[in-house]
């Protein structure tokens, strides 16, 4: 009787571990950004920052976050989804300035797939020209 219980418990744990692995592997990922990550020659007149994911995302749900408020752009309007996979943040950029924006973080996870799975955190860094 004990051996059967342990065996069933072991199978349950295996199923839970598989479910966790599938959930973690199913997180949406950033496939591109405007400006491109690492670009050190961005036009300061750029009015929108956008992020494109590998799947449809939940509308009106985002976490444009910062690690340093001084490196986060001035927000010029409400974020919006231009397409189901691309979110846009209206901004005002300054010349000759470094920017760092987080698309989700360990704490803020509101960029989610249409099915509610949070996107993997992504650090977007760029610099504008003079």
> What local confidence, expressed as pLDDT, does residue 7 receive?
53
Question: What pLDDT sits at residue 39?
Answer: 98
Domain boundaries, the chain: 29-127
Residue 83 confidence (pLDDT): 97
The whole-number pLDDT of residue 17 equals: 47
Rounded to an integer, what distance in angstroms lies between the CA atom of residue 1 and that of residue 122? 50
> What pLDDT was estimated at residue 5?
46
pTM: 0.81
How much of the chain exceeds pLDDT 90, in percent?
A: 81
Q: For residues 47 and 9, give the distance between their C-alpha atoms in angstroms, rounded to a whole number.
A: 56
Say which CATH topology domain 29-127 has.
Immunoglobulin-like (2.60.40)
Query: Which stretches of the chain score pLDDT less than 70?
Result: 1-25
C-alpha to C-alpha distances, 86 to 10, 66, 105, 113, nearest whole angstrom: 42, 19, 18, 12
């Amino acid at each position: 009787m004990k051996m059967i219980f342990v065996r069933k418990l072991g199978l349950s744990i295996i199923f839970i571990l598989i479910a966790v692995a599938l959930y973690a592997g199913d997180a949406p990922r950033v496939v591109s950004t405007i400006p491109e990550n690492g670009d050190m020659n961005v036009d300061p007149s750029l009015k929108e920052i956008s992020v494109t994911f590998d799947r449809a995302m939940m509308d009106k749900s985002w976490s444009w976050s910062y690690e340093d408020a001084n490196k986060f752009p001035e927000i010029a309007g409400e974020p919006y989804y231009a397409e189901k996979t691309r979110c846009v943040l209206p901004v005002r950029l300054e010349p000759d300035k470094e920017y760092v924006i987080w698309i989700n973080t360990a704490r803020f996870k509101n960029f989610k797939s249409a099915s509610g799975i949070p996107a993997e955190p992504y650090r977007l860094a760029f610099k504008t020209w003079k």
